[in-house]
Chains A and B, each alone.
Chain A
């Protein structure tokens, strides 16, 4: 693998994403959002955390959010290098 490929979030390794939407979503939606962890934040928003295989899968999730009419606040990839473990614990 070249360096270029390593830095490309679309290749091989799934990337963990944080997706923040407005409003509290119930846990029941977990299956709908393909196993994303659903955690409610105190300010009334919901944080969805999960591994996404590639850009197409990410857009698929975003489309589902769009179709529920939920306001989308932010989408962030989380570093997955071995030196930097994802902050699952904080959210789940």
Chain B
């Protein structure tokens, strides 16, 4: 997955042998190195690029160069090219960053920028970054990137911007802080002596002082003007007459002089100049194709020697371009003199670019030629790769340039238009494009559709259905989403993994939303298998969260852990940079460790997730991380921090197609209950319109259970029988609904609340019977916190249960955890409670257990070290200790023994 980076954009124009030495300006530029930014801001033709490139050649600092063009208005591309430019200074810079910018789910720009600054910090020496032609940037996001960069610029970096208009930066502030050097038109224009030096020495004319003054006055020291004047005089018979005529004329200098220059050129050269003016960059073969002649390479060399405004773009003398100003005037002459030629020339350029595999340029010229059929064909062929490489901005730009009447006949293009809009979150125009595509599915239609991608055309019915399913789900229309997604599965071939994968996952999400968890799981898992086959690894890793969430609701914590472990393995394949989603897996695992009451491990996983950084996290990780950390703080009794974290999480919340079954507001209500702030919790319940009369429903289940918690807490304070009665009835209905749909996770919590409710009613047999059911469901999955969180009244009942012999091992473990909690130890040491541990002379430490658990995976030693954020040597020390404590001498034997002893799960 790589965008083609043009090396011509990062090529520093080389110094020219003959040139006016601008010593004064060089001194200014050198002084400027102490400040952050040098702004070279002046109109076209003032020699900005020449000045900076000549200066860089004399300067001892290393420099990176980026020539901007309109395409760089996409901030991701702007930053990507900046990285590519910086790689000319330090080759290893930003490799992972580039990859993640081109991945399926690029990280948010702020994250990328922070990472970029970290990379820049690693460059060992002072350096200069030049952004040439910044006036071509007119997108606010790019200005924001620049502002951020300048704001946080490390001291060893100096930025130079050349532009025809002042950029949208807070220039007064930079001035006030003495962080800015400005070189403007007045500094750049040639003085009389520079004009004389230029005309007589550099251009080899032999002019008198008066003649030089006349030219300098007429051009006002404008370098492009002087250069054109010099070119016009070469080959003039009456130089003096020419100067007099020019000086006495009011015409726009460029008009006047280019006409002179063109008049002096032999006809073939003149034609060549005009015809090639449509090109943004040129080389011999391309010019041959456009002019339908041969020998362009030598013509270009000849022009370069004649100083005809040619700018080299690489050091192989292959690519070059005209000075923009000169090109504009040439193009104007072309359009007025040979208007019919213009589309012909663009078509030729388009064909050449197509043959040479440069699709974007081929499309650009086809659009300029207004050859929309050709452009449409090219775009249609470019679509799959452009969408894979996340170039939707560019793709949308092309598609918008195609008129509707052309699109009308192009079903494949229309459906891809819809998909691209959907991908960029622009739901509005999608339906129109789908209808445009769907028209062709009508058997009655007599016209013929136009397409180049036959397979894609055959897939049309399933593609249309797929996008419909996605829109329906986004709009909360689950039934329709299921219908459309099913249709995709009916229509798509067995080997169409992308369609099948996407449709199955959508179905899974739809069933999840409906509360049919088992079907949801199967469908979604099936979808992930297909997506993995076609290499959509990031999506598969992200899908682990969905699968684990479903399993947790079903009360299958061990499977959830396995899902996260597999996800993590996918995200951290050996030898490759960690993929996005690695951080998310750690957050998920942390939650599971927390439920097991392994709080230290839970915290380590959260810290590790943080350490991996946001670059390795999916968009929803920032809020999920805070929710997980809030839960940990809550369990640790730091309720204020928990609330703060939940507030932050709320502001970072990112919805997706998954149902929001654990709303953050409900999590906050639960903390308020613990704080005794029942008023706040009740206000939340009123706002959410919760009542004991409400029918149980999966989407509201978490909130309904939270509501019962509020009621029970109220009852405890004022012993209202009717309230308690209502709560018990509600719990009964909630339990029935949860059990019927196999939501064991929810059922355990409901049973725990029932236990407490009956206890309040002083109906101990009923309380113990509910508790017994909860223990049976919870024991095999290692639940701990669900009981521990309820404190002493629960401890009392569990003691009773233990005395009556229900789940003896489990209740014993719970009791010792309660005991540890009461004493303020906080965390249960798993081994002290585990009956099997008695057969070990020396119990394993928590860390050794962590390592043992990872022994069971296929992670290598270094990977285990990375996983636990410890040194490899530490892993080795622990390993030795594990072997000796278990009396084994291999990893496999250690795992086997540990399972036998019940230290780790099989």
Residues of A that sit less than 8 Å from B by CB = 23-26, 28-29, 31-32, 40, 44, 46, 66-71
Contacts and interface: CB of A to CB of B under 8 A. Distances in A.
B477 interface: no
B165 A66 contact: yes
B253 interface: yes
7 contacts: A26-B251, A28-B333, A68-B329, A69-B43, A69-B46, A69-B254, A71-B43
Contacts of B249: 24
Contacts of A44: 250
A46 B254 CA distance: 14
Contacts of B43: 66, 69, 71
Given A23-B250, A24-B251, A24-B252, A66 B335 contact: no
Given A28-B332, A67-B44, A68-B44, A46 B165 contact: no
A80 to B, nearest CB: 28
Contacts of B381: none
Nearest to B220: A71
Interface in B347-376: none
A69 B250 contact: no
Among A46, A68, A69, A71, the most chain B Cβ lie within 10 Å of the Cβ of A69
Contact of B325 (A23, A24, A32, A68): A68
B162 to A, nearest CB: 14
Interface in B483-499: none
B850 interface: no
Contacts of A67: 44, 164, 324-325, 328
Nearest to A43: B250
A68 B254 contact: yes
Interface centre among B46, B250, B333 (most CB of A within 10 A): B250
Contacts of A69: 43-46, 222, 224, 254, 325
A26 B253 CA distance: 11
Contacts of B252: 23-26, 46, 68, 70
Given A24-B250, A66-B165, A69-B43, A32 B332 contact: yes
Given A69-B45, A71-B43, 9 more contacts: A23-B250, A23-B251, A24-B252, A28-B336, A44-B250, A66-B135, A68-B44, A68-B328, A69-B43
B44 A23 contact: no
Contacts of B222: 69
B254 A26 contact: no
B385 interface: no
B513 to A, nearest CB: 43
Chain B facing A: main interface SS: helix
Of listed B43, B135, B164, B335, residue having the most chain A CB within 10 A: B43
A61 to B, nearest CB: 14
Nearest to B250: A44
A46 to B, nearest CB: 7
Interface in B219-262: 222, 224, 249-255
Interface residues of B, number: 24
B326 to A, nearest CB: 11
Given A44-B250, A68-B44, A29 B332 contact: yes
Interface of B: 43-46, 135, 164-165, 222, 224, 249-255, 324-325, 328-329, 332-333, 335-336
B255 A25 contact: yes
Contacts of A31: 332, 335-336
Contacts of B254: 68-69
Nearest to B165: A66
A66 B44 contact: yes
Contacts of B325: 67-69
A62 to B, nearest CB: 10
B53 to A, nearest CB: 19
Minimum-distance CB pairs A-B, first 6: A44-B250, A69-B44, A23-B252, A69-B43, A24-B251, A24-B250
A57 to B, nearest CB: 14
Nearest to B253: A23
Nearest to A23: B252
A59 to B, nearest CB: 9
User: Which residue of A28, A40, A46 has the most chain B CB atoms within 10 A of its CB atom?
Assistant: A28
A46 B43 CA distance: 18
Contacts of B335: 31-32
A12 to B, nearest CB: 22
A40 B252 CA distance: 11
Contacts of A40: 250
A24 B246 CA distance: 13
A66 B164 contact: yes
Nearest to B43: A69
Contacts of B46: 69
Given A44-B250, A66-B165, A69-B325, A26 B255 contact: yes
A68 B257 CA distance: 13
A76 B693 CA distance: 69
Contacts of B329: 68
Contacts of A46: 252
A66 B255 CA distance: 15
A40 B335 CA distance: 22
Most buried by B among A23, A68, A70, A71: A68
Nearest to B222: A69
A31 B698 CA distance: 65
A43 to B, nearest CB: 9
A71 to B, nearest CB: 8
A39 B135 CA distance: 29
A69 B164 CA distance: 9
Contacts of A66: 43-44, 135, 164-165
Nearest to B164: A66
Nearest to B259: A26
Nearest to A27: B336
A6 to B, nearest CB: 29
A64 B117 CA distance: 36
Contacts of B332: 28-29, 31-32
B368 to A, nearest CB: 15
A72 B252 CA distance: 12
B311 to A, nearest CB: 16
A46 B251 CA distance: 9
A26 B333 CA distance: 11
A56 to B, nearest CB: 11
Nearest to A40: B250
A71 B42 CA distance: 11
Q: Which of B135, B165, B332 counts the most A-chain CB atoms under 10 A from its CB?
A: B332
A26 B254 CA distance: 10
Nearest to B135: A66
A52 B45 CA distance: 28
